[in-house]
Amino acid sequence: MDELSIYNQLKHLSIARIRQVFASWQSQNLPRHWLDGWLLAVLNQPSVFLITDSDYVPSDDEVMQLSGGIARMMTGEPLAYLTGMQGFWGREFMVNAHTLIPRADTEILIETVLDIVKQGSIDTSPRILDLGTGTGCIGITLALELASSSVVAVDYSPQALAVATDNARRLGADNCTLIHSDWYDKIDGEFDIIVSNPPYIAKDDAHMASLTHEPVTALVADQDGLADIITIAHGVHQHLKAGGLIVIEHGYDQGLAVREILSSVGLSNVRTLKDYGDNDRITLGFRPISD
């Protein structure tokens, strides 16, 4: 459907009626929460408004804005790119077409790092390196949750780095430094923790068909999606302290391959953890003290 067709179906309808139409449009590629979320964004109202004011009839201007956004979402453009915001770990991060949209499953990485620090396996005032930071959601979240930490977050994309810098400033992550770097190229010294959500999708992966609006350079890697993970792993001897932790997010079918990569560079206690959908999602390892 085009924007005009959508407009003609929604004009002069109450919120309750509009949401009935939404129910007939929703699909796997156009989830209901996108439709309701965009309606709330257009109306600039909290979610309770959909119930308390269900008889409200949006103005023509509101319906036009609503229709334009829905037409974009019907092409696969995610809601977050319309609103410019995405929630992660209880905070709102700015996003745009130069950044990946933070996913809930990435919060598994945050949980894991915080748990390991809490257990005392890592310095409670760690120096953390976030490689390929994108929106900054991982590095900034760790900086805010571990207030005594020092975080360095890097990205090769100047446009993504600008978004991360704005997020760090807006959220008050004063202990997070943003650096333009191709992985480790501009990085000096060693870190207690290295984290990364790098590109890990193979070029011919069928999932790319549903990710056409997100930056391909942040998604796709050579060597069946493993090239950047290999690069990150090979930097641990120069940049990860003895006893330090590395945690890498990867694809649901890459757990074994990533464990082999981390083990091949001499890391110990290598293991893979699952996400909320029970899929392999992150693999971690430690640099041995005696290394």
200 labelled ligand-binding = yes
225 labelled ligand-binding = no
84 labelled ligand-binding = no
Report the candidate in 105, 109, 108, 100 with the shortest Cα–Cα distance to residue 136. 100
197 labelled ligand-binding = yes
Do residues 191 and 127 touch, judged by C-beta distance below 8 A? yes
198 labelled ligand-binding = yes
In three-state secondary structure terms, 60 is: helix
Q: How does DSSP classify residue 242?
A: E
226-232: long-range contacts, CB 8 A cutoff, minimum separation 24: 226/200, 226/254, 226/257, 226/258, 226/261, 228/132, 228/183, 228/198, 228/199, 228/200, 229/198, 229/200, 229/254, 229/258, 229/261, 230/261, 231/183, 232/131, 232/183, 232/194, 232/196, 232/198
46 labelled ligand-binding = no
155 labelled ligand-binding = yes
96 labelled ligand-binding = no
135 labelled ligand-binding = yes
Q: Which residues are annotated as a binding site for substrate?
A: 197-200
Q: Which residues are annotated as a binding site for S-adenosyl-L-methionine?
A: 132-136, 155, 183, 197
Q: Which residues are annotated as a binding site?
A: 132-136, 155, 183, 197-200
